[in-house]
Amino acid sequence: MTTTAEAVALVSGARTPDDLFGGDAPHRAYRRLARLLHPDLASGPDAAEAFARLSELWAARGRDTETVITTRRGTHRVGGVFRRGASAVLYGCDDDALLKLPRSHADNDLMRREAQALATVTREGDPLLLPYVPRLVDSFRHRSGGVERQANVISRAPDGFMSLTEITRLRPVLDPRDVAWIWRRLLVAIGMAHRAGVVHGAVFGHHVLVHPIDHGLVLVDWSQSVPLGSPLTALVARHRDDYPPEVLAGGPATQALDIRLATRCVAALMGDGAPAPIRRFVRGSLAGPPHDAWGLLGELDELLDDLYGPRKYRPLHL
C-alpha cells in the first residue's frame, strides 16, 4: 500500500480494529495509514473521511483491549499489541511505556536478564547518558491462563523513532555523513553500558532506534545482555553468523563483542560507497575490535574531522 487511494479503500472496508491493526506491528500500520490520509498531507473529502474513520478504529482498539494490572510498584493500564518479536510481545502500557511479556515461560530468564541490566545501567551509568537506553519502570511475575511469566514495563521511545532495519528498507544506502551521528551515538550507548559492567550482546539493526530529525538514539532489547566477562547465555538465532567464534564457543563476552556488532551495523548502512579511509577504519575495527568504545569514538571523531571538517547538522531525509 503506497497511495492515498489504496489507504482510503482499506480503511473504508474495515469493520473492526483488527481489520487494520491485527498484524504483528499495529502501531506501524496506524502510522503508515495516518501518513497517507492526514488532512495536512492528503486532499479531498474521501481522505478526510477515511482519516476520521481511522482515528475512530484506533481509539476503539485501545478501549477494547485495555487491561489493568496492579503490582507492588503501582497500577499499569495495558492496551493492545504494540509489536511482536521472536521471543516476546510488547503491549502498549500507560501513556509512555511498554509491557514486555515472553512468548513462552521458558524465556522468563530473558526478561529477568533485561531487568537486571537496565537496573544496573541506571544505577551505575552517567545520568546524562541514560536516555540512550530504555528506563525500567517495573518488573514482576504475571500469571495468565495458568502460566506464570516474568514481565517488564519499560519506557517507550517517543514518536518518530525507528529502527535501523526500518531505515534500511526505506533507504538501503546512506551517506556516510548521515551514518556518522548514528555511529557516534551508538558508541556512546555501549560505552556507557560497559562502564556500568554490562555487555548488550545483541547490537543489531532492529535493536537500534534513531530519530532521523532530532538525532536521538535508543539501544533497546537488553534480554541477551550479561555482566562484562560472562559468556552469553542466549543468541539471536538469525544473526548467529555475526557472532565471533570465541563467543559461540562459550568464551567471555567483552566490550569487543558489542563494538564488533555495532561496527557491522553502521557498515551495512553505508554499503560499499564510503570513502576509503572509513572503509579502512571499519576493517580495522572488525579485524581486531578494541575494548574501549570511548577510545574508538575519539579515533572516529578525528577521522570524521579530517574527512568532513567541523560537524554540521544534517537531517536524515527518508
Q: Where does the pLDDT of residue 64 fall: very low under 50, low under 70, confident under 90, or very high at 90 and above?
A: low
Cβ(220)–Cβ(134) below 8 Å: yes
* pLDDT tens-digit readout, 121-136: 999 999 999 999 999 9
Q: What's the CATH number of domain 67-155, 3.10.20.600, 2.70.70.10, 3.30.200.20, 3.40.190.10? A: 3.30.200.20
Kindly report the backbone phi and psi dihedral angles of residue 216, in degrees, each rounded to the nearest multiple of 5, phi listed first: -80, 160
For residue 204, the 8-state DSSP code is -
* pLDDT tens-digit readout, 150-194: 999 999 998 889 999 999 998 999 999 999 999 999 999 999 999
In sequence order, which residues have a C-beta less than 8 Å from that of residue 61 and are 6 or more positions away? 17, 21, 26, 79, 80
Cβ(34)–Cβ(42) below 8 Å: no
Burial 258-278 (b: 16+ CB within 10 A, else e): bbbbbbbbbbbbbeeebeeeb
Q: What is the mean pLDDT of residues 36-49?
A: 78
* pLDDT tens-digit readout, 240-261: 999 999 999 999 999 999 999 9
| Residue 222, pLDDT score | 97
The letter for the amino acid at 244 is: P
For residue 157 the three cell numbers come to 521511545
Phi-psi region of 199 (alpha: psi -120 to 50; beta: other; left: phi over 0): beta
Q: Read off the pTM.
A: 0.81
Q: Which residue has the higher pLDDT, 292 or 14?
A: 292
Mean pLDDT of the chain: 90
CA dihedral 136, 138, 141, 142 (to 10 degrees): -110
Write the CATH number of the domain with boundaries 4-64.
Answer: 1.10.287.110
Please tell us whether the domain made up of 162-308 is placed in CATH 3.40.640.10. no
Q: What is the mean pLDDT of residues 184-210?
A: 97
Distances (CA, A) of 164 to 34, 60, 206, 238: 22, 31, 6, 16
Domain boundaries, given as residue ranges, for the chain: 4-64, 67-155, 162-308
Q: Where does the pLDDT of residue 62 fall: very low under 50, low under 70, confident under 90, or very high at 90 and above?
A: low
* pLDDT tens-digit readout, 87-124: 899 988 887 899 999 988 999 999 999 999 999 999 99
Q: Where does the pLDDT of residue 209 fall: very low under 50, low under 70, confident under 90, or very high at 90 and above?
A: very high
181/175 Cα distance (integer angstroms):
11
Q: Where does the pLDDT of residue 34 fall: very low under 50, low under 70, confident under 90, or very high at 90 and above?
A: confident
Angle, in degrees to the nearest 10, between helices 176-195 and 255-270? 170
